[in-house]
Amino acid sequence: MAITGVLRPGHVCIRVLELEPAVRHYVDTIGLTEVMRDKAADGSPRVFLKGWDESDHHSVVLREADESGMDYMGWKVDSEATLEKLSADVEASGLATDMHWIAAGEHPETGKRFRFTVSTGHIMELYAYRKATGCATGSLNPDPWPDDMHGMGARRFDHCLLYGDDLANTYKLFTEVLGFGLSEAVVAGPGEQMIGAFLSCANKAHDVAFIQQPVKNKLHHVSFLLDNWGEVLKAADIISKRRVSLDIGPTRHGITRGETVYFFDPSGNRNEVFSGGYTWYPDKPVITWTDDQLGTGIFYHDRKLNEKFLSVFT
């Protein structure tokens, strides 16, 4: 399949309460690499990081703030022409607010970004250019992993799961305007109203997921990719060894079939590391989960819903 339009999640900006403990967590525990530091327009300090298998300059931004959560999520598109077209399509759709351009260079080594707010309250961005500074193994006759891999050894920033109150219009924007496909859906009630949407822009089981909740602009988790189930188990050992706050796991999902463990950063933002899942193509039938089987869908092994997992977010 030729992947065009929106290629993949490009970055996430996470608000943290204290920068240095957060950096230690994302570097020493999750295994990201610090790239550089600067200050945002409001003067708040920022740190840019990336996974060892990511070629672009950065994928994760930590910004010190008074409240934890997610500032915004960015999506890389295939060309400047696509950026111009999709920005115009978003403006014409009537499905987004607060649309404006962010000048090139506001993120280091990054071109201009088109920013908008979707109906769930989340801020999204589209951009076409970020300098490729290379991954840790290089691109010529590379080894399968770097010698200096540390912590959990996260390969890349992979996806976010987000909570919001207007799933229907956010779903419409992502599928009808940005060209995402629906890989899995959670439905509830006699009318089978969709209360969860797992969306893919390429070949993954999901690149972003939205869950219907009576809140706006909330982050459930930020997820990072590991190689295999054994690495997820090792990540759980690291969580215990470093006295990190464990949420759930290690276990696996019914939804997306991924193997997973959830935990919290020092500011209370939920993190996930996972492996597995399936390859998605646009002609794959949508997998549907009914709300009475949601326990199995979320936690396939014990088949029970966990109230903390559902109700804690930033």
Label each residue of the chain as H, E or C.
CCCCCEEEEEEEEEEECCHHHHHHHHHHHCCCEEEEEEECCCCCEEEEEECCCCCECCCEEEEECCCCEEEEEEEEECCHHHHHHHHHHHHHHCCCEEEEEECCCCCCCECCEEEEECCCCCEEEEECCECECCCCCCCCCCCCCCCCCCCCCCCEEEEEEEEECCHHHHHHHHHHHCCCEEEEEEEECCCCEEEEEEEECCCCCCCEEEEECCCCCEEEEEEEECCCHHHHHHHHHHHHHCCCCEEEEEEECCCCCEEEEEEECCCCCEEEEEEECCCCCCCCCCEEEEHHHHHHHHCCCCCCCCHHHHHCCC
- Predicted local confidence at residue 255, as pLDDT: 85
Nearest alpha carbon to residue 144 among 203, 59, 258, 231: 231
- Say which of 72, 125, 221, 231 is annotated catalytic: 221
- Say which of 171, 206, 231, 259 is annotated catalytic: 206
Tens digit of pLDDT for each residue in 225-284?
Answer: 999 999 999 999 999 999 999 998 898 887 888 899 999 999 999 999 999 989 999 899
Q: Are 12 and 186 in contact (CB under 8 A)?
A: no
Tens digit of pLDDT for each residue in 5-48?
Answer: 999 999 999 999 999 999 999 999 999 999 999 998 899 999 99
The question of whether 206 is a catalytic residue gets the answer: yes
- Say which of 26, 163, 171, 262 is annotated catalytic: 262
pLDDT higher than threshold 90 for residue 222: yes
d(CA 229, CA 6): 29
The question of whether 272 is a catalytic residue gets the answer: yes
Tens digit of pLDDT for each residue in 124-174?
Answer: 999 999 999 999 899 999 989 899 899 999 999 999 999 999 999 999 999
The question of whether 220 is a catalytic residue gets the answer: no
d(CA 72, CA 203): 23
Tens digit of pLDDT for each residue in 61-99?
Answer: 999 999 999 999 999 999 999 999 999 999 999 999 999
d(CA 222, CA 11): 11
Tokens of 257: 């079939």
The question of whether 57 is a catalytic residue gets the answer: no
The question of whether 301 is a catalytic residue gets the answer: no
The question of whether 262 is a catalytic residue gets the answer: yes
pLDDT higher than threshold 50 for residue 1: no
- Predicted local confidence at residue 229, as pLDDT: 93
Q: Could you tell me the pLDDT band of residue 303, with boundaries at 50, 70 and 90?
A: confident
Residue 282 makes CB contacts below 8 A (sequence gap 6+) with: 1, 181
- Say which of 11, 25, 58, 253 is annotated catalytic: 253
- Say which of 54, 64, 259, 272 is annotated catalytic: 272
Q: Are 266 and 22 in contact (CB under 8 A)?
A: yes
pLDDT higher than threshold 90 for residue 2: no
Tokens of 218: 């909330």
pLDDT higher than threshold 80 for residue 307: no
Tokens of 155: 């390969």
- Predicted local confidence at residue 300, as pLDDT: 64
pTM summary value? 0.95
In the chain the first and final C-alpha atoms are separated, in Å, by 36
Domains of the chain: 6-127 (3.10.180.10), 158-311 (3.10.180.10)
- Say which of 57, 159, 171, 259 is annotated catalytic: 159
- Predicted local confidence at residue 188, as pLDDT: 87
